[in-house]
Structure 1
Amino acid sequence: MRSSLRKATVFLLRNPVASALSSVKRTTWRVAVAGLVALPAGQAAADPGFSRFVADFWPTARAAGVSAQTYNSVFAGMEPDTDTLRLMDRQSEFVKPIWEYLDSAVSESRVEKGRELLQQYGPVLRQIEARFGVDREAVLAIWGMETNYGGFMGRHNVIQALATLAYAAPRRKSFWERELVTALNIVQAGHVRFQDMEGSWAGAMGHTQFMPSSWKAYAADYDGDGRRDIWTSIPDALASTASYLKKHGWQTGKTWGYEVQLPSGFDYHLADGEKTKTLSEWTRYGVQRMNGRDFPRPSDNAILVLPAGANGPAFLMLRNFYVIKRYNNATAYALAVGHLADRIIGGGPLAGDWSRQHLPLTRSETKELQALLNRRGFQVGAADGKVGPATRRGIRAFQVSRGLVPDGYASAVLLAKLKMDG
């Protein structure tokens, strides 16, 4: 019976006449496909809804050029990824302080491994740098950050994870469906075997964790074998990362930024994360490199960033820092990549100290902070738990009114002050 059903269903998938079936026949076809792609031999479907999703998604995949053969072979016996189901609903209240993040991300072991790989892949990295104009240490640092140099690329099959999200995620359904179609086409084109398509629970793939759409737009075939294999070919993965950075505006031979020292009496309103000035202009405000040296290119534009407020290190961030943020739009991530790149080529640890009692706020604590600011007359808008420009302006206004350093940083110390404020 199962053999007959499989043959009949494959025929329907391949036969163009299937698109003209009556509504009754279409219903039968959906049931047949569900039986094909979701039932392991001798077992009942663990999630009938997922089976229906797979059946109903076939016309979308077919319209995007996915063959019945690829679709059948990929989805036969597939069930939802239980780990993806668990993680997509997790709303962690814990916020890792940036100093803890950096301690882990730029560990001595990761630095040493990066230096070893700089030697091991020296010829490949030199060619990639020459081809794409992206500094080799930056490419290595992203590899180190994303998967610990291939040590952990995720334990999920990307198509299974994306199918689970397209089926069950309450938000961004169309996004997950587009990523799923692209992943299916990657397998069909022979760039990677379905079983080798490793990635994260959210579908980020390979050594340097590309989403399928990013792979489609930016992945590179370093060795010219016709495949852009970011899963098993390290040169392809590194070249793809360089391609991504270059196409987002990487400036060859320039750094990501500088750790700097601020003068006494500095106007912290200039450190809003938005004001752009040349390095020579920042110098006139008394901002200096920690090592006392001059900036090599005074005409470069930079933004002053205080990741942990006035009680932590300060940085002048250049264009390449914001290119790194296109890879992962988090200040902590981009700072870690830049710092790891510097360490790999011989740079030392950060010079500034983090004031570790100034802990960042959880989302619920941020809502409480915003509500208190609004109550005190420092209007920041809706208490949504997100620290945006309006919240930072409100924090600064409160800090000025109380004689505090107006750095606009939302911390546990600031929340405690607001709670005590009459």
Structure 2
Amino acid sequence: MKLLKLIYQVALFSTLSSAATVVDYTGHGEAKKFIDMMVNEEKFCPDELHTLFSNVTLQQRSLKFYAHPKKTARHSKKKKKQYGSWSRYEKKLLNPERIDKGVAFMLKHQDTLMRAYKTYGIPAEYITAIIGVESYYGAYTGKHPVFDTLCTLAFEENRRNAFFTKELREFLKMTKREALNPRELKGSYAGAIGLGQFMPSNFEKLGVDFNHDGKVRISEPEDAIGSIANYFKQSGWKKNVPVATRVSYKGQRFNKLKTGYLHKYSRNRLKDIYPKDKTFNYKDKVSLIKLERVNYDELWYGTKNFYVITRYNHSSYYAMAVHQLAQKIKESYNKQHLAMK
């Protein structure tokens, strides 16, 4: 069996840079178990599943991304530290074009965004910023066939087989419930879908029929807006609570403190690190968010709502990019809105 597995893997990876590889998963051990489970537990038609799983195109980019374990610091080669990582991130996500398109999106969908705010308490600019970062306001929702992607990542050996097997199950349940053809849906190289790039399991838990047409379609603006607002609400967003504020410090006094959204400190402990904005009156614990520039570090307080944004993507830089993009969109939107009156 080990020899057969080795032969299969060699055959697979020898084709990664050549023509598309089509696989019949109906004879694959783990896939057969999965099909049986979907028939017995989820009441899927066996013939329909066999037709689906008999003709799967391997998604080579996806497999390449997840194929090998991530290197730990102990095993990876030591690289020369590159300064200014936030400046590069900022340049990519906070450019004038993305801000302008965000304003246009808010103007076009202001009624839906206002309804989302009234329903869930999530400000329009943060919903807009998520869509701007995730899919460039719907322009780039992904071109990868979601079914083939999830099959590839569920059944070909990689570091996240269990996760993608769960996502494949939720994806098929979603397509059945929503009367969608699983072969027609396109998404990211990881199987994320729609304007907000939801994974299928999040679609199941948090997707909202916000236009009340009896269907959940997160590739459409209304349902995407409602679903993202619901995601934030369910993750613990607090209405009228700030997200982040820049702080001042002297020298390297904060260096002994751990930074990042997972570490929280009382304001009393950080009394020598104080907000630049004197109106900032958030009293609960905060995180210290460090943004590395070439010649210095920016330091920010992150609140409970900053942490909520990291539930969408577990990265302090991601959450800060969403926050700053939201603020820039809001500022520009308000100027245009006033000019139109």
Superposition RMSD in Å = 2.8
The alignment-based identity, stated in percent, is 25
Counterpart of 1:254 in structure 2 is 241
Q: Take 1:286 and 1:98, find their aligned partners in 2: how far apart are those partners? A: 21
Counterpart of 2:223 in structure 1 is 236
Q: Is the 8 A contact 1:272 1:305 kept in 2?
A: yes
**Aligned with 2:165 (options 177, 194, 216):** 177
Cα deviation 1:266-319 (Å, max 9, x = unaligned): 3532454424123x774x425231xxx413424243222223289221101111
Q: Kindly state the Cα deviation for residue 62 of structure 1 after the two structures are TM-superposed.
A: 1.1
* DSSP-derived class of the 1:259 partner: strand
Give the structure-1-normalised TM-score.
Answer: 0.64
Q: Structure 2: which amino acid aligns with 1:316?
A: Y
Cα deviation 1:186-222 (Å, max 9, x = unaligned): 1111254324422111111111111111111111110
Q: Take 1:80 and 1:294, find their aligned partners in 2: how far apart are those partners? A: 55
Counterpart of 1:68 in structure 2 is 46
Q: Kindly state the Cα deviation for residue 109 of structure 1 after the two structures are TM-superposed.
A: 0.6
Counterpart of 2:134 in structure 1 is 146
Instruction: Give 5+ residue unaligned stretches, structure 1.
Output: 1-44, 348-422
Counterpart of 1:85 in structure 2 is 63
Counterpart of 2:266 in structure 1 is 277
Q: Take 1:160 and 1:168, find their aligned partners in 2: how far apart are those partners? A: 11
Q: Is the 8 A contact 2:146 2:191 kept in 1?
A: yes
How many residue pairs end up in the alignment?
Answer: 298
Q: Is the 8 A contact 1:306 1:312 kept in 2?
A: yes
Counterpart of 2:321 in structure 1 is 336
Give the structure-2-normalised TM-score.
Answer: 0.78
- Is 1:103 matched up with 2:91? yes
Q: Is the 8 A contact 1:179 1:211 kept in 2?
A: yes
Pairwise mapping of residues 15-54 of structure 1 onto structure 2 (< 5 A)?
Answer: 46-47=22-23, 51-52=27-28, 54=31
Q: Is the 8 A contact 2:238 2:305 kept in 1?
A: yes
- Is 1:211 matched up with 2:187? no
* DSSP-derived class of the 2:266 partner: strand
CA gap 1:164/1:256 in 2 versus in 1, 3 angstroms: same
Q: Take 1:267 and 1:88, find their aligned partners in 2: how far apart are those partners? A: 36
Q: Take 2:48 and 2:123, find their aligned partners in 1: how far apart are those partners? A: 38
**Largest Rg, 1 or 2:** 1
Q: Take 1:330 and 1:173, find their aligned partners in 2: how far apart are those partners? A: 23
* DSSP-derived class of the 2:253 partner: coil
Cα deviation 1:83-102 (Å, max 9, x = unaligned): 32233237699989222112
Q: Kindly state the Cα deviation for residue 56 of structure 1 after the two structures are TM-superposed.
A: 4.5
Q: Take 1:246 and 1:225, find their aligned partners in 2: how far apart are those partners? A: 22
Pairwise mapping of residues 153-164 of structure 1 onto structure 2 (< 5 A)?
Answer: 153-164=141-152
Instruction: Give 5+ residue unaligned stretches, structure 2.
Output: 1-20, 333-341
CA gap 1:84/1:272 in 2 versus in 1, 3 angstroms: closer
Q: Take 2:321 and 2:101, find their aligned partners in 1: how far apart are those partners? A: 15
More RCO (CA 8 Å, sep 6+): 2
Q: Take 1:266 and 1:119, find their aligned partners in 2: how far apart are those partners? A: 44
Cα deviation 1:112-146 (Å, max 9, x = unaligned): 10011111100000001111111111111111111
Q: Take 2:314 and 2:109, find their aligned partners in 1: how far apart are those partners? A: 28
CA gap 1:73/1:120 in 2 versus in 1, 3 angstroms: farther
Q: Structure 1: which amino acid aligns with 2:35?
A: W
Counterpart of 1:5 in structure 2 is none
Cα deviation 1:131-173 (Å, max 9, x = unaligned): 1111111111111111111111111121111111111033332
